[in-house]
Every structure is written in structure tokens, then in C-alpha cells.
Chains A and B, each alone.
Chain A
Amino acid sequence: MHESVKKELAAIVGPERATSRPEDLVAYSLDPHIEEHRPDLVLFAVTTEEVSAIMKVAFREEIPVTPRGSGTNLAGEVVPIMGGIVLALSRMDRILEIDPRNRIARVQPGVINYRFQQEVAKHGLMYAPHPSSWKVATIGGNVGTNSGGPRTLKYGVTRDYLLGLTAVLANGDVLKTGGKAIKNVTGYDLTRLICGSEGTLAVVTEITVRLIPKPKASRTIMANFPLLEDSSDAVAAIIGAGIVPSGLELMDKVVISAVEADARLGLPTDVEAILLVEVDGDPEGLDLQVRTIERILMENHSSRVLVSRTPEEADKLWTARRNAVSVMARLRPNTSLEDATVPVSNLTEMIRKTVEIGRKNNVQIGVLAHAGDGNLHPLVLFDQRDKDEVRRVEAATEEIFREALALGGTLSGEHGIGRAKARFLPMELDEVAMEVTKCIKKSVDPKGILNPGKFV
């Protein structure tokens, strides 16, 4: 990037919010993905106008721009693989409006999901999208990746709660989509198109979301299953009984053993799966649901069922699941968390195949899953410095994707394609779908400057 252009760009935000110090470029060269690349410049914008002015210069000069929130995304979405500008929106972090009467809110993209939840809870409301990284991740990032999380079975994903966006296009034009109305079928649904586009279509600078009443109570049930198949049958039976749990998490044998070895929680290490079921709603209705779930779990050969009576007990039951990722991560230097997702009826088969793939490639894999929506989280452990192991991990990962697709599933349930899965995209999208994707991209970003080198 030419020095004069750098100066021009820096002048838009001022010297305090522009940097090309090598240390800063390093800090913005990365996200949890393995690949890294330094940008030429990092800009911290705080208004839509600034973002627009930056995009105008970038468009004129054909400079790549990678928008970024907290950088917790798991598929390399914010690694500026072609250099250029990292457009950090972390400081654009104001909650602009909470309107309890219409149950909507307007936020800037840098607002942290957790903080937003705290604020809307004061009005007895809830913002449903709740990725596991909620304490760190921004709402803007959630929109960019269409974040899900453990509650999606009941509550859906980010896309389901978006009402409108303000977004800056590649040429600097400011696009406003949707509005405050809950129902809106006017024109193409541009709001939902931009959601999940991983910063390849526009830079989102304001977000209007729908809120829902916060459930008054919740209960947690933990069940041990000597046989994996039985746990899947139990999941199907619970949903078949008309109950939609707010959480339905599965841990496999590898994960259970690791957590138990670490924390000695008294988990059984001779079972193939532990299911955690959470239901929420009015306290009166919950008792009945809990009894039904208990019965279904027993009927499906759970060897032990534990029901929480207090929030503290529920918290205790969740300890194992909460610690699972970090306990696994401590076993080896590197961990990659995949998210291949299959129709829920194929969950057991997918878990079995994943374990088999791990064994075949001599790779350590533990499986967590959002069992209710068939979303697997294989935790793949390795040491990045061991080239042979990295190769085996790559092979295993590819096999997992192939298997998920063969079972009618998808490459990614919630982490996105980004850089990590870009080369696998044609496995899932056929030529027509790829062509339409490219056409859309080209029509709004003809010079291809928005987050290039990713899935389109």
C-alpha cells in the first residue's frame, strides 16, 4: 500500500485509531485459525461515516478490507489473507436503543453479545443467539458468521432475530435494510443475505434485532448412556414427545474420560455418551416436561438420570460440559474445533464415523455435539510443529467433511467457511449454486475488495 494512501486513510480516523506498527499488524494478522497474514494497516472506525469514507478510498485504490470484531471466529474469517486494511469495529460498541414495548433493540457491531444480554435482561427480555463465545464475541461478528450455539434447537440462529441492518458497501455506499417492523416481506431479504456473508458483501455498522421474553426458569437433566445409539434414540424420543429443549448436549467417551481425569467429578468413564438436557419456560410447565424427559431417558436405557432441583445443581451438572473444551485443549498444544453437521437421525452414525476416522489417521479426536440439531463438534488435538501430524489432521478433517456430506449434512453448522473450509466448498455447493454465489458477490463488490481470499 502506498504511503500516501495510508496517510489518507489514517486521516479519516485520526492517528490514535490508525496503526501500521509491526506489533499491531501481528496482533491483527490472526484469529483462532492456523493460517496468519499481516495486514498493511489497521483502522479502528467508530461511525458509519468513517467506514464509508474508508471504503471509498479502498474502492478507488482496490485495497482489500477485512472487517473484524473480537476475532473469535473459528474458520479464519478475519485473517487478512491478501493484506490491505483490517477494519476493526471493536470500538463501535454502543447499544443505541432498547425498546421493550416493541421488543427490539439497535446496536453497533462492536457490542459484546454478553453485555447486550445483561442489558436486555434488565427489561425481562432475551436476545436468543448465544454462541459459546458470547462473553467475547461481538454482535457484528455474530451477524457476519450467522452464529448459533447450544440454544439453536429451540431458539434458532442469529439470522432468525435480525430485523434490519445498516451496512457499507464496497464502494462506500451506505445500504439500509429492513426496519423495526417484525413482519417485512418487501423486496429481496438483503438483511439475511448479508448475515453469514463473513464480511464479503458489506461492512455492517448498525444492527436492529428482535428480542423475546426471557424464560422464567430452566431445569437441567443429565443422563449416562452405556450405548451411543440409545442416546440418539432418546434425543429423537424427547423431540417426538413434543418437547423442544433449550439445550441438548452430548459428550462422547473420549471427552468424558478427559474431563473426569482432570476434575474428578465422578463421571462414569465406562459409558459411551452423556446427554445434558435443558428445558426452560414457566416453572409450572417445567415439572411435567422434566418428568416426561426422565421417563424417556430411562426407557432408552440410560444407566443413570440426574435432575437439578436448584440453579446451583444445574450449574454443577453443566460443569463437565463447560470445562470440556479447555480440558481437551490442555492435552495437546493445538486444538481445532470442527462443526460438521448432519440431519439429527444420522448423528450416531456420524459420531461413530468420526471416531473411526480419528483412529484410522492416528489423530486424537473427542466429540461434543449439540445433539438436538445434529451439530457435531469434533475436537481435533495435535501439535502444529509436527508436520506429519498436521498432515494426518488435515486428512482426517477432510474425511469428516466428506462423511458429513454423504450423510446428508453440511460442512459447517455454525462456524462458517472462511479460509479453513473454502477449498471444500465445491463439495457441497454445486456449479449452479457456486455461480449464483459468485454473481451476487460480483454485483455488490465488483472489485472483490471485501474480505478476499475466503469462500468467494
Chain B
Amino acid sequence: MFAEPIKEDLHSCLKCAMCQPVCPTYRVTRMERNAPRGRVQMVKKYLEGDLSLSGGLHDALMTCILCEACSEACPSGVRLDRVFENIRMELYEKFGVGLAKKALFAALKHPLLLRLGAGMGRLGQRAFIAPLNLGWKMGNIPLNRLGRFNSTSFRRQIGEVVPAVGKRVARVVYFTGCATDLINEHVGRAVVDVLTRLGIEVVIPQDQVCCSVPVFLSGARKEALPNIEKNLEVLDRSDADAIVVDCATCGGGLKKHIPYLMEDLGLETDRARRVAAKVRDVSQLISEMMDKLPLASASSGRTVAVTYHDPCHMVRSMKVSKEPRTVLAALPDIRLTEMEGAGECCGGAGSFQFEHAELSAGVTSLKKQNIRATGAQLVATGCPGCMLTLSGNLYEESDPLVVHTIELVAQRIKKE
């Protein structure tokens, strides 16, 4: 149930509303039910017995994106994200989730089911070309912009160990996440290419499973435990210098949310903290070894304007924002141009964009404006979720292409 130490935070809310302007959903509706202060006070009143665990409470709390901007803005240090994660567990236990999400949870928990689902999805995409081009949408995203499934699992394609190129200077465990494993194999290949060229041996545990962030952030905290335990077992190895991720959500989960979840549930957190301490975004590793990166030489005059979008789970959960910029700025033929509000949520937030399409569209439209205002030809980011949302919503001819930071790095190193 609701963790006692987090209840204490509710007494520190000054009701000052400094969280309001940073909240993406409040910006869209301008209603307290979609603002952090309103939500926190509802939770407080529920715990004090003045509100019940009602549909209204469910609505207010489930329309929160969990972007963590409010926690960062709070002058009195209320950990709003943890308040919301705790109350969602109670809401989940009372209301459950819809059928689609149930199916998704089941798939994320069982690797075989997940791969089967991906396989069926791939067949579906091949068989039903017509609706893809009819402009049908899932949430706000046209079906033909959803991305194609990999032909086979990336992890299987690549195997357990990829040796360093040349002298080995380090060994990392690569937590690929489901997105790279099943959809974005090009991102996975880029990670492996770049890291091995830096002299890093990349170990890809074949028995890693979904990080389960989508499951436990929906409130199903206990149901996520088998996946969490499995991953901690796989990842807690003393022979690895780091655990590298290419997905901000997996990274944020391992680095922050999983230790907190276990703490809230009164579980042993030693192993989770050991793992968390080693988790690094791929851009962090690269930025530390920039001088060793065999970059291609600049071709004269053909620079591309790139703007960088900070995924919520990267900039706030993992506290990584400088490194991807450092890496991008050092690449040849790239001019990095900052957008306004780079750290603001893109409105995707996984299933949020499908469950709350209208609200999500409002949040996304601000992001789109800011991206377009830069005139950049590429948007780089470090989260497959954001990539899906951004590429799914930026489909005008003049819109920039969306790429993972690591793809740009891989394209700009010298060929072996």
C-alpha cells in the first residue's frame, strides 16, 4: 500500500503552485485536476479519508504523464512522482487496467509471448498494407508511422558477446530494452558498432527481460516484480564496468524507479542499488571517451542542423542532459541547435498517447512547435518512446526526421 515515508511528503506541500507551469497536462487544460498541486492535494485528502478511491481520482491521477517536472520544480522537495506511483498502485488494485493494457502487460512479462506478438505484428504489417496507407490512426499516430518490427529479435541476431575492436579497455552489459530488441534493430547495431570501436566488449545477456516500467508505472507494481528480479539477477555482475542502455525509460527504471519501488514495498534494495549505480546511458559512455572515437573527417559545407529532445526519463529520472549534447556537438557535419523547452515532455509517455489521445495531442503540439521553430533537419533523442511519438507526429514534408543520438554517432565514425 502507500509507503509511509512518502505520505510524510504530502505534509510538506505548500500549495504554492510552482509546479503548475511546468506540468504538461496543466498547460493544455488549465484545470487543477490536471495539475500537480491539485493531484497531490487529492491524494492527501484521500489518505485523510476525505475522498474515496473514485473514478474521479482515477481520472485525475492517470492523466498524469509522470514526466517528473513537478518533482524537480517543487520548492519544498515533495517527491510528487513517488506520491503518484504509490497512489497508482492503489488505483490499479481497485480499477485494474483495460483489456489492451492487460494483454500488453502479459506480453511484457513473458518474453516468448512478446516475441510471438511481435511476429504476428510483423505479419499483420505485411498482410494489411492497405489500412496502413489509408491514414488510419492509433491514438494520434498514423498506422504507417508506427515503425516496422525487426525480422528476428535483435538480441538473437547479435548473440551473447561482441568482442571489442582492438585492445579491450572495458566490458559493459548492454540492456537492450524491448524496443531495440523487437523494433529498432538499427539502434542496437549502432550501439554495438560504436562501443566496440571504442574498445569496449559488449555483453548482451540473452535472458534479460522487459524492464517492466510500463507495467509498474501503471500501478501494477507487484506484477512487475518477477521481471525486476530476473533482470537484477542477470545484470548484477561484478565483471562488467557498466550497464549500458539506449532507452531512457529502461535506464530511468533501472536507475531510479526500481530501487524506489522496492523500497516502497519494503523489499531488500541492495542489489537494485548496486545495479542502479552502474546504469549509464550510451551517450554518457561515449562522451567520456570522445577523444578515442574514430570520427570521420568533416565533408566540406554539408552540415545538418540537429536539435536534441530530452526524454523525461533521461533528463529527470537519469539526470542526463549534457552528455548527448556533448556527443552531438562533437560530430562532424552537424550543427546542434537548441529548441525551446527541450526538456519538456513530448506527450507520448508510452500508452498515455493512446489512452488519453486528446490530452497527449495538446502536449505534443507544443513540442512540435518548438521543434519546427528551430528549422532543424533532424531531431535526435535517446528514447524509443519519444522517437515513436515524435516521428508519428512529425510527418509534414518539411518536418525533420527523428533519429536516436547513437545512430548519428555510428554514421559518423570511420568505416573499418
Q: Please give the residue numbers on chain A whose beta carbons come within 8 Å of chain B beta carbons, in ascending order.
A: 19, 21-24, 26-28, 30-33, 44, 70-72, 88, 90-91, 93, 110, 112, 114, 133, 135-136, 325-326, 329-330, 333-335, 383-385
Residues of A within 8 A of B21 (CB): 112, 114, 135-136
Q: State whether B54 touches A326 (Cβ < 8 A).
A: no
B12 sits at the interface (CB 8 A)? yes
Residues of B within 8 A of A22 (CB): 51-52, 54, 56
B41 interface neighbour in A19, A21, A30, Cβ under 8 Å = A30
Given the interface contacts A22-B54, A23-B42, A32-B17, does A333 sit within 8 Å of B30 by beta carbon?
no
Given the interface contacts A22-B54, A136-B21, A329-B14, does A90 sit within 8 Å of B30 by beta carbon?
yes
Q: State whether B30 touches A27 (Cβ < 8 A).
A: no
Q: State whether B20 touches A23 (Cβ < 8 A).
A: no
> What are 22 A-B residue pairs whose CB atoms fall within 8 Å in the complex?
A24-B31, A24-B56, A27-B32, A27-B38, A27-B42, A30-B15, A31-B15, A33-B15, A70-B20, A71-B37, A72-B16, A88-B30, A91-B30, A91-B31, A133-B18, A135-B18, A326-B75, A326-B77, A330-B12, A330-B75, A330-B76, A330-B77
State in angstroms the CA–CA spacing of A70 and B15 once bound together.
Answer: 11
Which residues B1-59 have CB closer than 8 A to chain A? 11-12, 14-18, 20-21, 30-33, 35, 37-39, 41-42, 45, 50-52, 54, 56-57, 59
Residues of B within 8 A of A31 (CB): 15
Q: State whether B33 touches A24 (Cβ < 8 A).
A: yes
Nearest CB of chain B from residue A226's CB, rounded to whole Å = 29
Residues of A within 8 A of B60 (CB): 23, 27
Residues of A within 8 A of B77 (CB): 326, 329-330
Residues of B within 8 A of A21 (CB): 56
B12 interface neighbour in A33, A44, A333, Cβ under 8 Å = A333
Nearest CB of chain A from residue B91's CB, rounded to whole Å = 12
Residues of A within 8 A of B30 (CB): 44, 88, 90-91, 93, 110
Residues of B within 8 A of A110 (CB): 30
Residues of B within 8 A of A30 (CB): 15, 41
Residues of B within 8 A of A326 (CB): 75-77
Q: Which of B17, B37, B41, B52 gathers most chain A CB within 10 Å?
A: B17
State in angstroms the CA–CA spacing of A330 and B11 once bound together.
Answer: 11
Known: A19-B33, A27-B42, A72-B16. 12 other contacts (CB 8 A): A23-B56, A23-B59, A27-B60, A32-B16, A33-B15, A90-B31, A93-B30, A112-B21, A133-B17, A333-B11, A335-B14, A383-B11
Please give me the 9 A-B residue pairs with the lowest Cβ-Cβ distance, nearest first: A326-B75, A27-B38, A27-B32, A23-B56, A90-B30, A329-B76, A21-B56, A333-B11, A32-B15
Given the interface contacts A22-B51, A23-B54, A384-B11, does A335 sit within 8 Å of B76 by beta carbon?
yes
Which residues B121-137 have CB closer than 8 A to chain A? none
Residues of B within 8 A of A334 (CB): 11-12, 14
Residues of B within 8 A of A91 (CB): 30-31
State in angstroms the CA–CA spacing of A72 and B77 once bound together.
Answer: 18
Residues of A within 8 A of B42 (CB): 23, 26-27
For residue B10, which residue of chain A has the nearest CB? Answer: A333
For residue B40, which residue of chain A has the nearest CB? Answer: A27
State in angstroms the CA–CA spacing of A71 and B37 once bound together.
Answer: 10
Q: State whether B11 touches A71 (Cβ < 8 A).
A: no
Residues of A within 8 A of B59 (CB): 23
For residue A134, which residue of chain B has the nearest CB? Answer: B21
For residue A38, which residue of chain B has the nearest CB? Answer: B50
For residue B50, which residue of chain A has the nearest CB? Answer: A26
Residues of B within 8 A of A114 (CB): 21
Nearest CB of chain A from residue B194's CB, rounded to whole Å = 34
B 171-210 binary contact with A (CB < 8 Å = 1; else 0): 0000000000000000000000000000000000000000
Given the interface contacts A330-B77, A335-B76, does A136 sit within 8 Å of B17 by beta carbon?
yes
B 256-273 binary contact with A (CB < 8 Å = 1; else 0): 000000000000000000
State in angstroms the CA–CA spacing of A329 and B33 once bound together.
Answer: 25
Nearest CB of chain B from residue A94's CB, rounded to whole Å = 12
Nearest CB of chain B from residue A290's CB, rounded to whole Å = 31
Nearest CB of chain A from residue B356's CB, rounded to whole Å = 15
Nearest CB of chain A from residue B282's CB, rounded to whole Å = 31
B 123-155 binary contact with A (CB < 8 Å = 1; else 0): 000000000000000000000000000000000
State in angstroms the CA–CA spacing of A90 and B16 once bound together.
Answer: 16
State in angstroms the CA–CA spacing of A325 and B75 once bound together.
Answer: 8
